[in-house]
Structure 1
Amino acid sequence: MGPEELAIITNPQFINATFQAGENWYHGMVAQAREAARLSQERNSFVEANNHLVAVNSQLIAQGRQQNEKWKAFANDLVKQHDEYAVLAKRLLDEKTAALRSEVFAGCAMERQLNEEKARSAEKDVGISQLQNDLSGVRGTLAATQESLTYERQNVAALQAENEKLRAALSAAESDRHRLHEDNAAFLSAADYFEQKCKDLESDLERSQQALQEEEAQNLTLSQDFQNANLVNEALSSASPLALSLMEQTRGLWAAQGKPSMMENYLASHCRTDGQPLTVREYLWFATLMREMVARNIPDHLISAHCPVAERDDFLTRPVAI
């Protein structure tokens, strides 16, 4: 090493610069080591997070598949229930249509019968009027006969007075009196006959009037039956959609609770008149129909005919037990 190089090496500025460069290099290496350690730690954290994410994704995929299977089964159940409901709705609609058709035919037949009864009543009214006219004529004849009888009696009295005055003509007067007496008896007999005839006609008139009243009562009964039939038709028409809606709501509640449909299950609290227990579907139908019929003041015998259930008095208020 020459003097110049030695001078350079021993120069304080060179020494300071060398030490400064060494420190800078050292600090740079330390910073790089720290950065490398930090990057390594971040890489390890990223790897762990990635592994955790892979595990979570696998779990989510498995849960998604399970949920998809559940939803698929639930959708199949809904489709099946919808098909069953469609079949039931069609059957109920067909039954309702048939019932309404039969009720309409029955109403038409009843109306025709009512018109026939009215026509017969009108004919009988004409007959009664004719009988009344005949009775008036008979009464007029009877009055004329009574007047004639009075006149004859007056003649008899005159003849009797003349007989008192003309005792000399007793034989002739007696003969005339006897003849007049026979005529008087004949007139009296005729009067009795006409009086009895009038009584018979009055009796016939009373019987005709009674028959007319009975027919009017029968016509009133037929009219009430026709009106009740219309009310029953209205109750059936109103109860059908209400019952279907109630059944659908009940199925929805069961489905929301995760329960199967219990429409065909038998009730322990309600039964038919023959003792057979009602199903849930039958109970909902009869309860809805009974409310509609009671609201329209339909007679009890018609309610019993369309709702053949036992213990109908507390049917709607009795607790339901399956």
Structure 2
Amino acid sequence: LEMSFVEAADIMALIEEMLIKLSAKISDKPVQQTPFPVMSYDEAMAKYGIDRPDIRFGLQLFEVTDLVRNSQFGVFKNAVAAGGIVKGVLFPQGADLSRKEIDGLIEYVKPYGAKGLAWIGLTGEAAADGTYPAESLRSPIIKFLGKEEIAGIVSASDARRGDLILLVADEEGVTNPALANLRLEIGARTDLISSDLLAFCWVVDFPLLEYDRDEDRWGAIHHPFTSARDEDWSILEQRPADVKAKAYDIVLNGWEIGGGSIRIHRSDQQMRMFQRLGLSESEVDEQFGHMLEAFQYGAPPHGGIAMGIERVVALFADAQSIREVMAFPKTATGTDLLLEAPSLVEDEQLAELHIAVREQEESAK
């Protein structure tokens, strides 16, 4: 869908109305909330550790980085000193999990880069002063934490007697995905995730750029034609990491089912974007000169969104995999059984496309 003379709110309103009517027509499941909740990318990452949150259940993540910055527990202190964060998630009524079950949770987060989990089981109540005596806690790390630190962690997690607090201390790129997936696992184990709800939400204000350390330059997260927010153009050159995009994703039950943005329609802004991405004037002229010239004649403000129809159908149909609703899904090895592709190409076809195939010479041993 592409539209002219629109803002993000116009496109979001149109898609939202369509999805509400579509849900009522083809699904017996109620929509959890209308209007759809809208959260910023930063809020989604802070509360859910992921930019496509499943909001059918709670268990929002919490952060205690500042609280444990000077902790005597080396795992926390060292992670924060290295620029990392300390965040956690609650396992409701998990304080009595066996050590084997807790070890299983630790192994669960390791594929996401986490080295382990720190954990505190709340087996009793707080004392009159708000702190927790040792007999009210079950944890191998409480001997390294002060009473105020423990009380602060319990408060931040909103834990109650019988709950298990699980914490990860690492760089943000490890901590968030580890806890995001652990949250989903806990939700599934504790039957908190309803299969009878359609929980839509919008995620907006994505970062416009990200820094590529390997190439030592800034790159566009969506594409180089996505517009910055109006108020952020003034900081594009000096503070690129803080620039937010006019981009928006629609999420359903933890699946991204659509995404789009408002595009740049001014030649001066598009040129600044290309320069911020490290393109020279000659590269811009060669690759995008026609676009910049067209913009000079006056292009309408425009934007759009692309919907993942197969994902929507899969969710409405309770399919276990998107492949179940695809007309001609590829096999696990990437082959197309209908078209028998990939397959050998005839010499005549290569000649027609002016493609020459040359065998690579073996390097001398």
Q: TM-score, normalised by structure 2?
A: 0.18
Q: Which has the higher contact order (CA 8 A, sep 6+)?
A: 2
Q: Name whichever structure is richer in strand by fraction.
A: 2
Q: Name whichever structure is richer in helix by fraction.
A: 1
Structure whose CA Rg is larger: 1
Q: TM-score, normalised by structure 1?
A: 0.20
